[in-house]
Structure formats: structure tokens, C-alpha cells
Structure 1
Amino acid sequence: MKKLFATIACVAFMSVGFMTQTFAQDAATDSAAAAVAAAVEETDAPAAETIPAAEEASFHQALKTKFIEGGPEFMATIAITLILGLAICLERIIYLNLADTNNEKFLAEIDQALERGDVEGAKKIARDTRGPVASIAYQGLMRIDQGVDIVERSIVSYGGVQGGLLEKNLSWITLFIAMA
């Protein structure tokens, strides 16, 4: 599965360099520009009034105008933002898929080991299992001889650490979604 994701990522990054450019016909734009120039020459007074209105356009309007006009400089920033957003999304998908385990089976194994009195065996099970639940359980098992209050505080504090790791880069995903 990892090789499949790596292959897809390599193909996607390599295909970015092979973009083709298309150009519109210049004859239609030249005739439209000539018509606009002729209209401006006929009415000089209204043209003077529209220039300050164009300068007072909001940032949103200016950004919309740049997006409609296109151009390689502006569209390159859009493409880079898209690629970064996709890379962060793929990273989160891979990380969260790797963090997924069968928690009920894992906790049943830990419970069986503790019922037998085998604390070291329970620690080994928690250490050898991947995922945030196993890490949190291992932190609790490390302090099992210090009392219930210490174990509870340890689990709560390390749960916050694991929650932060799971939420890493999600604010960037939200930002890229809002920009799209």
C-alpha cells in the first residue's frame, strides 16, 4: 500500500512539469481592444470617472479580476497552493490510516495480561502495538505502581499529546479549503 501511495505521489509531482500552454487567437482580442479604444475616445468624460472607481475596488474584487485574467504568475501561486493542500491531505490520510488499530482486541489483550498479573506482558503488548491508544495505554502501564491518581493524570496528559499529533496540519487543510 505504501508503494502505491509513493508511486502515485511521484507520478503527480513529475507530471506538474509537463504542462502544456495554449494561446487564444489574437485577432478577436485585437478587434475588441480597438472597439473599446474607439468608445473611450468618443466619450472622454465618462472614462475619467471610471478610472477612480477602478482604483477604489476592494481587495476581493481585485483578486477576482486577477483570477479571471489569469496569467502564469498568478495561476502559478494557485497551482502551488493546490499542490500543497493535496500533499497535506495525503499526509493526514496516510498518518490516520496507520494510526488505526483494532482497539477492542488490543484492550482485551491488555486486560487478560493484567488479570494474570503480568504487568510486563501488558507493557510489551502496548509497546509492540502501533497507534495512539496503545501509546496512551503504555503511559498508564508505566505508572501502574504509583497509584490510580498518577495513572489517570498520565493518561489524560498523554491523551492530549496524542490528540495534538492527530490534529497536526488540519488547520492548513481548512485554510486551503477556504481559499478554494
Structure 2
Amino acid sequence: MKRLFSILAIAGTMAFGTVNATTSASLSTTTTVTTVTQDSSVDEENLSFHQELKKRFIEGGAGFMGIVLLCLILGLAIAIERIIFLNLSTTNSKKLTSNVEDALSSGGVEAAKEVCRNTKGPVASIFYQGLDRADEDIDAAEKAVVAYGGVQMGQLEKNVSWISLFIALAPMLGFMGTVIGMIQAFDKIEAAGDMQPSLVAGGIKVALLTTVFGLIVAIILQIFYNYIIAKIDSIVNDMEDASINLMDLLVRYKK
């Protein structure tokens, strides 16, 4: 529940900032159209990348562009929450293994469990589950480590599938906006009974803008998604190596 609230808080903050930026951009655009008509060509040449992006977004219309923007906001909110969670889940497994080994040698299993309780991260949790079965045979401890490792892996991968959904959904929405815009353009041609480029050029441009922004959203989220997947793989590999080291420690402790 706390993670859900954090995702919603991040999404709300990003949405609020985006709405303010879009609103201010719309107001400034309306004022500029009424006051600076003669210098429009000069202004277009001097627009920065950020200003050009806002201008194109407004030109694309609030329909599909708003949905594509929502995909970006939700995808980034989940990605940021996952990145924070994964960074907090990263543990120095070598140091933890050394501390557990020293605790086993000096104070036994309870001292080693206390070390794990005072250490954050999935590796420490897996160590604790294995040490909790240390009084039983090695097979029981190994089964506990494997089972709890699967639980921890599920926690690491939580909500990641939503990012992949938004990666696929954003360009599809952009393509849908393009197709609908092309249909509307041909409707205008049919109603006019004449093929004039000026009649449909604006509509086609707006339709293509939805595809461009859909692809931009997908590219941004794909970068975050690949980073998160790489981070998860690194933590999982660390968990597996640490689990093997724990089994070796328990075997030596039993002897």
C-alpha cells in the first residue's frame, strides 16, 4: 500500500507540473497569436527545444496527446519508484557474508540472525531464513533459502510489467491518432470534392505529431525499463551467489 501511495504521489506531482506547464504554454500561445503575428517566422527560428516540444504538443490536440502524456507520467512514476526500491535493496553481500561468518564463529546462529536483522535488503532476508532453519538439516535450510529467494525476486519485479505495457501502448495510441487524423483528412477531401494540399496539410501534420510523441514516450520508458531489468538481474545474481556462500557457511558450522 505504501508503494502504491508513493507511485500515485509521484504521478500526481508530475501530472500537476505538466498541467501547469501545458496551461501556461497554451495561455502564452494564445496571447502571442494576438499580439505578435508579424514576427512569427522569426520566433519559430529562435524557439528552444523545450519550447518547440511544448508547441508541437499543443498542436497535436488534447485527445490522444493527453493519453500519451498519461502513459509517460504513470510509466515514469513506476520507474522512479522501482529505481528507488532497487537501490535501497542493494546490499554489500561480501561484507554481509563476512559478518555472518564472524557471528557464527563467535556467537552462534542467534548472533548471525541478529546481524541479518540489522541489515536491509533481500540478501539479508534470505540469510535470515536459512539461518532460521540451521537447527534442522542442510536440505531444509536450502529449501527455505530457495523458496524465500523466489519471494524476494517477485518483490523486485513488482509493477515492472506495467512499464512494458506503457512502452507498447504509447506508440500504438500514436498510430491510432495518426490513422484517425488521416481518415478525417480524407473526409475533408471528400466533402470538398477537390484535392487541395492546403485543405488537408494541417490535419495530416496533427495526425503525425501523435505518432512522434508516442515514439518519444516509448523511447524514454524503454531506457528506464532496461536499466531496471539490468538492476534486477544484478541483485538476483548477487542473491544466488550469497545463497551458495551461506550454504557453505552452514555446512562448515555443522561440522
**Deviates further, 127-136 or 166-175:** 166-175
> Out of 15, 18, 24, which is 1:16 matched to?
18
> Out of 101, 104, 109, which is 2:94 matched to?
104
**Please, which runs of 5 or more residues in structure 1 have no aligned partner?**
1-8, 26-66
Task: Tell me whether 1:174 sits opposite 2:176 in the alignment.
Answer: no
**Does the CA contact (< 8 Å) of 2:113 and 2:132 recur in 1?**
yes
Show CA shifts across 1:94-122 (max 9, x none): 00000012110001100111123521110
CA distance in 1, matches of 2:110, 2:69: 52
Higher relative contact order at CA 8 Å, sep ≥6: structure 1 or structure 2? 2
Q: 1:162 to 1:107 in 2, by over 3 A?
A: same
CA distance in 1, matches of 2:131, 2:16: 47
CA distance in 2, matches of 1:14, 1:174: 24
CA distance in 1, matches of 2:135, 2:155: 28
Task: Tell me whether 1:132 sits opposite 2:113 in the alignment.
Answer: no
Alignment correspondent of 1:40: none
Larger Rg: 1
**Please, which runs of 5 or more residues in structure 2 have no aligned partner?**
1-9, 34-56, 171-217, 219-255
For the aligned residue pairs, the C-alpha RMSD in angstroms reads 2.3
In the comparison of the two structures, how many residue pairs are matched? 130
> Out of 45, 49, 71, which is 1:81 matched to?
71
TM value normalised by structure 1: 0.65
Show CA shifts across 1:103-154 (max 9, x none): 1000110011112352111001001100000000000111110111110000
Q: Which has the higher helix share?
A: 2
TM value normalised by structure 2: 0.47
Alignment correspondent of 2:147: 157
CA distance in 2, matches of 1:147, 1:11: 52
**Does the CA contact (< 8 Å) of 2:14 and 2:73 recur in 1?**
no
Q: 1:147 to 1:117 in 2, by over 3 A?
A: farther
User: C-alpha displacement at 1:74, in angstroms?
Assistant: 1.6
User: C-alpha displacement at 1:16, in angstroms?
Assistant: 1.9
Alignment correspondent of 1:120: 110
- Give 3-state SS (helix, strand or coil) of 1:130's partner: coil
- Give 3-state SS (helix, strand or coil) of 1:106's partner: helix
User: C-alpha displacement at 1:76, in angstroms?
Assistant: 1.0
Alignment correspondent of 2:236: none
**Does the CA contact (< 8 Å) of 2:133 and 2:141 recur in 1?**
yes
Show CA shifts across 1:11-58 (max 9, x none): 644312211224698xxxxxxxxxxxxxxxxxxxxxxxxxxxxxxxxx
- Give 3-state SS (helix, strand or coil) of 1:145's partner: coil
For 2:18, the aligned partner's letter is V
